């Protein structure tokens, strides 16, 4: 006897004397429904398990990506810091020397007799121009594509120094051959202001160089200590000689 004969001994039911066993069909469809329901439950459990595993895998992959990104960011910060140190160490001597020369010029044009000399003496103006043209930033200009490693104050300040120095020389070059004019005093005031800005700005860059040299302990006994001493001696537009 087959399983089908437990439900109906003939086919199709209801024809040629084939009696339908309703109770058997009810049992059959109930069993079939229960089987389908069980499969649905199993499918739901399976899908839930796979979803959970996929979620866990996705979380693990995301965590790994974040870790990699953090490690790369730390490496980049270390590289940027190293580049900043190298830039400041390379421009250190150049900045110190140029600031000393500009301090001398600032002192020269702020003397009481500077107004009369600047207005009446062509040779005085020519000597100022000659001294300004001697001030150059060859090392800094070679490092132009690396100045972005400096911070938001030191980098722009250094670039401004180069620009102010160039415009000051250009302005003074136009004034050297001229005869006495009424606005020479205004030109002198502008020159004093420009040189004062250069002294202050280069002092800012110089402080950053000294601090970085001291922090990195590069040749600390000779460079860092000497840099800090030179900075203390350097002075400002209000005190260009560094007097107490």
String of DSSP letters for 34-99: HHHHHHHHHHHHHHHHHHHHHHHHHHHHHHHHHHHHHHHHHHHHHHHHHHHHHHHHHHHHHHHHHH
CA separation for the pair 168, 157 (Å, rounded): 16
Residue range 58-71: mean pLDDT, rounded? 77
Kindly report the three-state secondary structure assignment for every residue of 4-25: HHHCCCCCCCCCCCCCCCHHHH
**Burial (0-12, 13-18, 19+ Cβ within 10 Å), 234:** buried
**Burial (0-12, 13-18, 19+ Cβ within 10 Å), 73:** exposed
- Give Cα separations from 88 to 93, 156, 218 (angstroms): 9, 14, 12
Can you give the pLDDT at residue 236?
Answer: 47
- Between 125 and 234, the more confident residue is 125
Q: Would you say 217 and 224 are in contact if contact means Cβ atoms under 8 Å apart?
A: yes
Whether pLDDT at 199 is above 90: yes
Can you give the pLDDT at residue 194?
Answer: 92
CA atoms within 13 A on the CB side of 174: 9
Q: Would you say 187 and 175 are in contact if contact means Cβ atoms under 8 Å apart?
A: yes
The mean pLDDT of the chain is 78
Structure tokens at 175: 């004034």
Structure tokens at 202: 């280069």
Each residue of 205-240: pLDDT tens digit?
999 998 888 887 765 455 545 554 555 555 444 555
Band of residue 165 on the pLDDT scale cut at 50, 70, 90: very high
CA separation for the pair 176, 124 (Å, rounded): 9
0.75 exceeded by pTM = no
Lowest-confidence segment of 24-38, 140-154, 222-236 by average pLDDT: 222-236
Whether pLDDT at 242 is above 50: no
**Number of neighbours of residue 104 by Cβ within 10 angstroms:** 13
CA separation for the pair 172, 101 (Å, rounded): 17
Can you give the pLDDT at residue 15?
Answer: 58
Q: Percent of the chain having pLDDT more than 90?
A: 25
Each residue of 133-146: pLDDT tens digit?
999 999 999 999 99
Classify residue 223 by its DSSP letter: I
Whether pLDDT at 1 is above 50: no
- Between 160 and 1, the more confident residue is 160
């Amino acid at each position: 006897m087959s399983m089908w004969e437990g439900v109906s001994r003939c086919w199709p039911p209801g024809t040629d004397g084939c009696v339908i066993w309703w109770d058997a069909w009810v049992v059959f469809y109930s069993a079939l429904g229960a089987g389908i329901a069980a499969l649905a439950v199993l499918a739901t459990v399976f899908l839930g398990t796979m979803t959970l595993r996929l979620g866990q895998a996705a979380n693990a992959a995301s965590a790994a990506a974040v870790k990699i990104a953090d490690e790369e960011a730390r490496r980049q910060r270390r590289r940027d810091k190293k580049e900043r140190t190298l830039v400041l160490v390379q421009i250190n001597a150049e900045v110190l020397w140029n600031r000393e020369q500009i301090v001398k010029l600032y002192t020269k044009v702020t003397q009481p007799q500077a107004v009369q000399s600047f207005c009446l003496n062509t040779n005085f103006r020519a000597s100022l121009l000659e001294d300004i043209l001697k001030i150059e930033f060859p090392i800094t200009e070679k490092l132009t594509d690396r100045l972005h490693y400096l911070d938001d104050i030191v980098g722009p300040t250094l670039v401004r120094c180069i620009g102010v120095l160039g415009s000051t020389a250009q302005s003074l070059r136009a004034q050297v051959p001229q005869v006495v004019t009424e606005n020479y005093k205004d030109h002198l005031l502008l020159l004093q202001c420009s040189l004062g800005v250069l002294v202050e700005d280069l002092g800012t860059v110089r402080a950053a160089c000294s601090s970085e040299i001291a922090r990195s302990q590069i040749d600390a006994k000779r460079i860092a200590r000497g840099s800090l001493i030179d900075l203390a001696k350097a002075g400002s537009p209000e005190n260009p000689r560094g007097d107490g």
